[in-house]
Structures are given as structure tokens and as C-alpha cells.
Chains A and B, each alone.
Chain A
Amino acid sequence: MQRIINDPDNVVDDAIKGYLRASPSLFVATDHPRVLKYPDSPSDKVGIVTGGGSGHEPAFLGYIGEGMCDAVAIGEIFSSPTADAFLEAFRAAPHEQGVACLYGNYAGDNMNVKMAKQMAEMEDIEVKTVIARDDVASAPAAERDKRRGVAGEVMMWKIGGAAAARGDSLDEVIRLAQKAVDACSSIGVGLSSCTIPANGKPNFSIEPGHMELGIGHHGEPGIEVAPLTSAEAIATAMCDPVLADQDFAGSEVAVLISGLGATPVMELNILYAHIAERLEGADIRVHRTDIGNYFTSLEMMGATLTLMKLDDELKPLLDAPARSLAITQR
């Protein structure tokens, strides 16, 4: 393992120390060592909380800030935060107007959020949830409730965060965050495995010269393993299932291309050039494109494509100002 770490069992806590030191205007510690909050959230707005396993940086903590989420629960690598951590995040976020907990569809997260929500009820904190299910490769559209949440979560946080920042009610924030993630279709392609430091060996394997289309953020199985081809062919393989998932033709979209951790950003742009061509050919207008490492899987090689169908309601929220580690815009 070629890693910059101390004790492999302490990587999450050690990383939190770094984030706190590097960005004191974005992160402040709370009563729980695995919960961080944005220090300047107004107390009279709906709180936005997210959380999930570590190893996906800048997710999840990189999405707290102004016009974004207010507090984050941080789990071990690829493992859900505890119910206690989610509960403390609900307390740390503004909660007088209620809390919207926006997270991804994974068994551990579902259970821990559910328990934290029950505990919050005992403290009269109202919590409602939106669970991202945007990974088209993880289940067919008819079984959308089984789909995993991937980079579409970024769109959900942006829309939900912007709605809360302008003063929307809890129900309205929930409706819009749900609408945002329902408008997203995502797919990933993996070119290599990744290693959790405490395990010391790769989590799974992708043979050299191969790629796995539809791979999940923790190496969950994809649609097919195929020989690694050109960026152009990869773009086609990713666009096909995404474009088949929703009727995007004639509409405006936002495109998010995220690296999985070890793929150079240059290659993400090579990939995007082909995706953009394909979208143009399909009569899809691109309103905005974001390319970078937005939602990673440790040092996995590969990328995800997220396409979000826009309308007059979502567009201004997507373009609203934000300041966070991962997204800052005026």
C-alpha cells in the first residue's frame, strides 16, 4: 500500500483533523467526533444534514457550507455513520424549522438514519428524508427503490441546500430535493479496484486491460466487465443506459462528471468531449457542466456520469450561490 497515513485504523479521525485545520470557515467540531457543522448557518432556516461512509471525499463533508448542507455525519471508510452521529448532526444543524436529511440508498445508512430520526423525535426535532437512488446500473427503472445513490446526491444537496437557504419550508425543501434526485440518472465505470487502509488489500479486482461498466461506489457489481477501449467508446457505453433511463430529448440538462479518485481530471475532459457530442446529437441542451472529483471511491480509477433534467424550478436553485469545499459559485 502506497498511502500517506499513520495508523490505518485511525484514518478517518486523522483526516477530520486536517479538514478542521485547513478550512475553519467551513468546518467546526461538534459534541460528536464524527460530526462536523458549518459554523455560519442561520438558525431560522430548515437544516440540511447529510452523511455516509468515508472514502468518497469530497463527499460528504465537502458539501456543507453556505447554500449547501449544514452538518454532516461521518462514517468509517465505506461504512455508515452511527445513529448517534446522525442524531448529533440533526442537533448541530438548524432544526427549529425541521431538518431535511439527504443521503444515499445503502442498507446501513437507511437503518442508522431511521433510528436517529426516531431518537430525534424524542427531542422534538422533526426530520424528513430524501434517499438518493440515481444509479441506473444498480436496478431497472421499475425497481427504482432498489437503486443506489451515487453522484446524483451532489445535485440533491445543491438543490435542497439552495431551497433551504432562500427560506423554503421543510416540506418544500423535501419536495425539491426529491425532484432533483428523481431528475438524475447516473452511471459509473471502474478501471481498477481500491484498498481500504485497515484491510490492506484490494476490495475486489478488475483485471488489467478491463473495465467494469455500472460499477458502484464501493465496487458493487456492474452491468458488464469488458475490455478497456477508447474514451469515445466508454462515453457511448455510459451514455446508452443513462439516455435510455429518462426522456431527455428536447430538454435542458446539467452534466456532472466525477472522477472515482485516481483518474486524471484531464481524462475526464477527454471523456466529456464525446459525451457532449452525443448529447448534442440527441437534441439535449447542456445548461451547465461540472467536471472534477466530486464523489470518489478512494483510489479507484474510473468516472461517473450524472445527467440531470432541468426545468424552470430546478435551474435557479442549481445556479444559486454556494460556498463549500466541493462547490463554490457566485
Chain B
Amino acid sequence: MQVLDATQGRDILEELVEVIVDNRQYLSDVDGAIGDGDHGINMAKGFRLCGESVAGQSLSLSKALGTLATTLMGSIGGSMGPLYGSLFMGMAKSVKDKNVLDAKDFGDMLADGREALEQISDAKVGDKCLLDTLIPAIKRYRDAVEAGDDFPHALQALRNGAQQGRDSTLDLEAKIGRAARLGERSCGHLDAGAVSCCLLLTRLADSTERRLEKAAA
């Protein structure tokens, strides 16, 4: 059975930092259509700070995710700081005592992150927010594991679920956040939080899959 080495997490974290920093302008442009236009600026600021603070360190996956969580909560503010902060904190706590993660543990980690996020926010699927990406992606992943798919196939289900979830926000009318002001006019635009969440989950799946391949080789 394929397992992910959870004693080393800095490289996965650095990939998450990279994907957000690389997409700073794109995320702000998506946000600018219906929101404040600052999503990319704020996210990149928090993720970059985190990347700088862990440079050169040896960190477990739990420590790496925990550092990301506290950096985001301490530096971004607004809604995204606590939402992403609690997501990553929940994931960090979930794998705290684990040296390796199998496909099921990985799904539990995602679900624990989701649960932590839901404890501080009443947002739900259909509100045109990052949960529109997160919830179906996790569900697709866990369904795949339950159906007997191996780790890489389950990761593909995670990516597919995330992308479909992200795209589902295109036709939604915003219920929360600044875009709610636009009502029907928010339709036809992606939600920036759903887009950043998709970028993060996709990169997390890519990075995990590469690690599995390396371990198998």
C-alpha cells in the first residue's frame, strides 16, 4: 500500500507557497471582477511570509501546515486569514502523531481541516465561496478511497472535484462577502476564494503524488 512520509513536510508547504505567489495577479484579477481585487495580494503576502519563515528548516507535515495556519491567521486578517488558517490548522492537528499517511489518513486530514473551518464559519456550498471547491473535492476523494481506488487515483478524484467545484461558482449568485452586493450580476464570474482553494488542492495532490512516485521508485 502506498503511503506518504509525513515526517517531512517543508517541500509540500513550499509548493503551496509557490502556487499562490505565482498566481498573485491572476487571483486579484478574478477577485477584481466582483470583489475588492485584493485576494491575490493578501494571499500572496501571507503565503510568502510563511515560506520565508520556514526556509531551510526540517519540518514534519503537521508542523509545516501548522506554521502556515498561524502565519495566515496572524498576517492576513479579513475573512481569508481565519478561513484558510483554521483549514490548515485542522489538517495539522489531524496528522500530528503520524509518521506516514495512507490514502484514508490523507482523506481524514482534509476532512478534519474542513471541520475546523466549519467551526468558525457558517458559510456553505452554494454561497459562492471557497467551500464550493473544498467540500465536493474532499467528498470525491473520500468516495474514491471508499470505492477501493488507490492513492494516486483518489488524488485525481480530488483534483477533479476541486476543478468542478471551482467552476460551479461561475453560475452562482454570491451570498456572502463583498460580491453579495452585486446579486445576480455576480453570476458569470468565478469566486476568487474558490479559485485559490482549487489551486491549493490541485498542487497538494500533485505534490503528494510526486512524493508517492519517488518513494515507489
Contact = CB atoms under 8 A, between A and B. Distances in A.
Q: Do A and B bind each other?
A: yes
Interface of A: 9, 53, 75-76, 78-85, 107-108, 111-112, 114-115, 196, 198-199, 201, 203-204, 218-221
B165 interface: no
B36 A203 contact: yes
B120 A111 contact: yes
B37 A85 contact: no
B197 to A, nearest CB: 16
Interface of B is mostly: helix
22 contacts: A9-B41, A53-B78, A80-B78, A80-B81, A81-B77, A82-B74, A82-B76, A82-B77, A85-B77, A107-B176, A108-B77, A108-B79, A108-B82, A111-B83, A112-B77, A112-B81, A196-B36, A198-B41, A199-B38, A201-B37, A203-B178, A221-B181
B156 interface: no
A145 to B, nearest CB: 10
Contacts of B123: 107
Contacts of B78: 53, 75-76, 79-80, 108
B177 interface: yes
Nearest to B181: A221
B75 interface: yes
B36 A82 contact: no
Interface string B158-193: 000000000000000000111011110000000000
Contacts of B176: 107
Contacts, number: 79
B73 interface: yes
A54 to B, nearest CB: 11
A112 B181 contact: no
Contacts of B38: 79, 196, 198-199
A80 B77 contact: yes
A103 to B, nearest CB: 13
B121 interface: yes
B111 to A, nearest CB: 20
Contacts of B120: 111, 114-115
Interface of B: 32, 36-38, 41-42, 73-79, 81-83, 85-86, 120-121, 123, 176-178, 180-183
A83 B41 CA distance: 19
A142 B75 CA distance: 36
B181 A83 contact: no
A251 B41 CA distance: 50
Given A83-B82, A199-B38, A219 B76 contact: no
Given A111-B120, A220-B181, A75 B77 contact: yes
B82 A115 contact: yes
Given A75-B78, A76-B42, 7 more contacts: A80-B79, A107-B176, A111-B82, A112-B77, A196-B36, A221-B180, A221-B183
B74 A83 contact: yes
Contacts of A85: 77
A203 B32 CA distance: 9
A78 B83 CA distance: 17
Contacts of B76: 82
Contacts of A80: 77-79, 81
The 9 tightest CB contacts between A and B, nearest first, are: A111-B82, A79-B78, A82-B77, A108-B79, A84-B74, A221-B181, A108-B78, A111-B120, A199-B37
Contacts of B77: 75-76, 79-82, 85, 108, 112
Given A111-B82, A115-B120, A82 B73 contact: yes
A76 B41 CA distance: 12
A53 B75 CA distance: 14
A203 B82 CA distance: 23
Given A81-B77, A115-B120, A220 B82 contact: no
Contacts of B36: 78, 196, 199, 203
Nearest to B31: A199
B73 A218 contact: no
B185 to A, nearest CB: 10
Contacts of B183: 221
A111 B121 contact: yes
Nearest to A199: B37
A31 to B, nearest CB: 13
A108 B38 CA distance: 15
A111 B41 CA distance: 20
Contacts of A107: 79, 121, 123, 176-177
